[in-house]
Structure 1
């Protein structure tokens, strides 16, 4: 099957911004849009970064057997769900780009096969991450600082070195310079796509 390049990283590591840049640079890759029940933030658009749905709609997709992976986060504002649905986005021969967590990455690999889901792990110094997160939260009409702190601490556990090693994530992309990091990721994806095409044609 086609490849799924899966973007991950701790909160405020810059993965969302780089993901959006890659979408514009590699237009031949289809974007997988995941779902969430959390409230839409200022500046976000439904169907772009996320499909914003109600919990009732999520349960409908679950009953239809279309949910590949589902995550529940007990936030200070209640439980927020994030999930990926097999809703037609993975049909065809086009390779895709998607974004999620380490937990969802593991479930995607289990569903589609490890060889078909390629990790794109973006990292940055924790101090820089915290500064970026605070700066971003201040732009919201109703900043949620408690939730920011919860996510920051949760990421330390979720993206531990032990978990990264367990899932074989060796390649890391350091986001000290966003332009440089984006270019490195773009070249990495193109290299993997060329390798995959060569395998299919037997010209390696």
Structure 2
């Protein structure tokens, strides 16, 4: 029986880079699970690669069909943005192991849906000052920077990943990504090998 490794952390914790490197690692043989969102695509994103981008009607259709495993709605400065995981056949635990990017909240829903023994949390920790510096650098590269949204996300993450919520979710293992991202990737790789070995 396979497992779902759920990579989570605050914005600009390095999740996307870590995800790409773990997926590329042939030793791990992790399958991708692409989440869904109603938010607009960022520069450089492609539908079906980082996310499946849906409009509100597409989201409502999936919800009406009972296909949504978990969902989060963020009330942004640009409207409601939904992020969700869909039971669309991407996950088959009899066929292998999977890597998913999510939040603490989505981890709890996915864990409850697939069973605690089948879902392994991978929490990335980064100091607040480093996260802010990374967020500014990323936003500076956008054609139309949204600094107000960047600040909202930073503050929301502080609440969403509070120590109380981490404890309630029973997430114990954490992986620091304050310095060289390769060190964090190597630590997570060893951890996954231990879990699937």
TM-score tier (shorter)? over 0.9
SS in 2 for 1:103: helix
Structure 2 unaligned residues grouped into runs of 5+? none
Structure 1 unaligned residues grouped into runs of 5+? 195-204
Within-5 A mapping of 1:97-112: 97-112=99-114
- What is the Cα deviation at residue 169 of structure 1? 1.1
Question: What RMSD over aligned residues (CA atoms) do the two structures have, in Å?
Answer: 1.0
Greater Rg by CA:
1
Within-5 A mapping of 1:183-194: 183-194=186-197
> Cα deviations across residues 26-59 of structure 1 (Å, max 9, x unaligned)?
4621111000000000011111111111111111
The equivalent of 1:134 in structure 2 is 136
The equivalent of 1:87 in structure 2 is 88
Contact 2:22 2:30 in 1 (8 A): no
- What is the Cα deviation at residue 105 of structure 1? 0.6
The equivalent of 1:72 in structure 2 is 73
The equivalent of 1:154 in structure 2 is 156
TM-score normalised over the length of structure 1: 0.93
The equivalent of 1:181 in structure 2 is 184
- What is the Cα deviation at residue 148 of structure 1? 0.4
Report the count of equivalent residues.
194
Structure 2 CA distance for aligned equivalents of residues 15 and 28 of structure 1: 18
Structure 1 runs of 4+ off > 3 angstroms?
Answer: none
Structure 1 CA distance for aligned equivalents of residues 154 and 48 of structure 2: 26
